[in-house]
Amino acid sequence: MSELFSNSIFFFENNFEDMRIRDITELFRNEVNAEANFISDTENRSRKGGNMSASQLATNWICIATAGETVDKRAIEEQWLLDAAELYDPSLYTALLWPEHSRNFGNMGEVLELKAERDDEGILRLYARLCPGLSLLQANANGQLLFLSPEFTPDGNFRNTGKTYLEGLAVTDSPAGVSTTRLRFSRTKGKRIGPYKPLAFDEVREFKKEKGMSKTAKKGWRHFFSIEEPEATAEQETSQPDALQALAEALDAIDKRVSAIETRLGEAEEAVSDVQEDVDTVKEVVDTEDFARLVGNLPELVKNFSKLNSKVTQLPDKKFSKGKKGFNFL
C-alpha cells in the first residue's frame, strides 16, 4: 500500500513542473504518513491490550434502541432504556461492541455514553456515543456490521439495583430492533464524527477575490484544475493608476478647502470676540447715572442751541457787488 502511494507521489513530482504542484504533493505525502502512523499505532495498541477500541474515535449520538415491539415480536420496555441511561458508567462497567453478539473474536469497540430521549412522536429512544475499533472501521468500510443490537441485563436486576444496565452492544447486519441508526465511520483521529458525505470535485471555479494567495499559487491551482488564466487588458492595467491619481488630487483639494474654512472660522471668532468687548464697554457706560442725566438734559440743550443760532450776526458776502449797498457792521 505504501509503495502505491510512493509511486503516485513520484508521478506527481515528475509530471508537473509548477512549484505549487510540488507543494500539493508534499501535503499529500504528510497526510499519507499521518494515516499510516494512525493505523500502525492502532494495531500496536490492539495487540497489546486485545481491545480494538484504541482508535480514539468518538461518534456523535447514535440511536441504538427504540421502545416498543421488535421485528421478532419481542418488546423493549421504556423502563429498560431509562434505567440504562441513568445507570451507565463506563468506569464501573463498560459495554463493549461485539460482532453478531459473539465473544469468540474479541470486541470491536466500546460504549462511551448513553442518554434517553423522546422523539417528535413521543417514542422513547436510547442513544449512545461509541468508540469504534479498527476492525469495526474496516468492516463498516466493506459494508458489513452496519446496525446495532443492545444487550440489557437479562433479569433486569443489575447488581441488586432492581434496574436494567446496558451490558453489551452488538454490531450486526440483522438487528431485531427498529429505527436504529446505520453506522458510517470516517477514520479521523481525535475528533467527534458523524455520518459522512462524499466529497467530489465535479465542478471547480475560481473565486473573484483570492485574498492572501500569491500569483504563483493562483497559477498552480489554475493549472491543476484546468482553469483558464484570465486575460489582463491594457485598459485594466492603466485604469488603476489613473484612478488613484485622480483620487489623490481630489483628496488634496478637499484638504485645502477644509484648511481655508478653518482659517476663516478662526478670524470670525476673533472679530466676534472684539465686538462683544465693545458692546460690553458701551453697556457699562449707558448704565451709569451720569449718562442718564445727560440724556435727560439733551432736549433743553437742543432748544438753547436753536435760540443761539437765530441771534448770530450774518457775515458779509465774499463777493463785492456793483451796487451802493454798504456793509453790515456789528
Residue 291 resides in a domain: yes
Query: What are the φ and ψ backbone dihedral angles of 100, each rounded to 5 degrees?
Result: 55, 35
pLDDT in tens, 107-122: 989 999 999 999 888 9
Residue 188 pLDDT greater than 60, yes or no: no
pLDDT in tens, 163-187: 999 999 988 876 554 445 445 444 4
Domain identity same for 273 and 184: no
Residue 250 resides in a domain: yes
* DSSP helix/strand/coil, 176: coil
Q: Which amino acid is at 12?
A: F
CA atoms within a 13 Å half-sphere pointing along the CA-CB vector of 201: 6
Can you say how many angstroms the Cα of residue 195 is from the centroid of all Cα atoms in its chain?
25
- Does the active-site annotation cover 149? yes
Please state whether beta strands 58-59 and 192-193 pair in parallel, antiparallel, or not at all (unpaired).
parallel
Domain boundary among 193, 220, 252: 193
* H/E run at residue 75: strand 75-76
Most confidently predicted of 152-161, 201-210, 214-223: 152-161
Domain identity same for 185 and 275: no
Domain boundary among 178, 193, 208: 193
Can you say how many angstroms the Cα of residue 92 is from the centroid of all Cα atoms in its chain?
41
The residue from 2, 72, 91, 274 that is catalytic is: 72
Q: Could you tell me what percentage of the chain is helix, strand and coil, using 3-state DSSP and rounding each to the nearest 5?
A: 45, 15, 40
Domain identity same for 250 and 126: no
Domain identity same for 86 and 169: yes
Q: Which one has a higher pLDDT value, 304 or 191?
A: 304
User: 180 lies in which domain range?
Assistant: 58-193
Residue 23 resides in a domain: no
As a whole number of angstroms, the distance between CA 108 and CA 134 comes to: 7
What is the number of domains present in the chain?
2
Residue 42 resides in a domain: no
Residue 178: per-residue pLDDT: 46
As a whole number of angstroms, the distance between CA 242 and CA 250 comes to: 12
Domain identity same for 155 and 260: no
Residue 117: per-residue pLDDT: 94
The residue from 46, 53, 135, 149 that is catalytic is: 149
Domain identity same for 251 and 161: no
Banded model confidence at residue 314, pLDDT cuts 50, 70, 90: low
End-to-end CA distance of the chain: 147
Domain identity same for 182 and 250: no
Residue 330: per-residue pLDDT: 45
As a whole number of angstroms, the distance between CA 99 and CA 104 comes to: 9
As a whole number of angstroms, the distance between CA 76 and CA 66 comes to: 7
Domain identity same for 251 and 146: no
Domain identity same for 247 and 187: no
Average pLDDT for residues 297-301, to the nearest whole number?
74
- Does the active-site annotation cover 223? no
Residue 311 resides in a domain: no
Residue 198: per-residue pLDDT: 38
As a whole number of angstroms, the distance between CA 330 and CA 316 comes to: 11
> Residue 251 is placed in which grid cell?
483628496
Residue 317 pLDDT greater than 80, yes or no: no
Can you say how many angstroms the Cα of residue 188 is from the centroid of all Cα atoms in its chain?
24
Residue 124 pLDDT greater than 80, yes or no: yes
Residue 118: per-residue pLDDT: 92
The residue from 6, 23, 40, 101 that is catalytic is: 101
277-297 burial, b if ≥16 CB within 10 A, otherwise e?
A: eeeeeeeeeeeeeeeeeeeee
pLDDT in tens, 49-63: 444 444 567 888 888
Tell me the average pLDDT of the chain: 70
Residue 229 resides in a domain: no
pLDDT in tens, 11-51: 545 554 454 555 555 555 555 555 555 455 545 544 444 44
Domain identity same for 160 and 67: yes
pLDDT in tens, 222-279: 555 455 666 666 555 556 677 888 888 888 889 888 888 888 888 888 888 878 777 7
Residue 266 resides in a domain: yes
Domain identity same for 251 and 127: no
Task: Enumerate the β-bridge partners of residue 75.
Answer: 69
pTM passes above 0.85: no
Domain identity same for 156 and 247: no
Residue 49 CB neighbour total at 10 angstroms: 10
Residue 234 resides in a domain: no
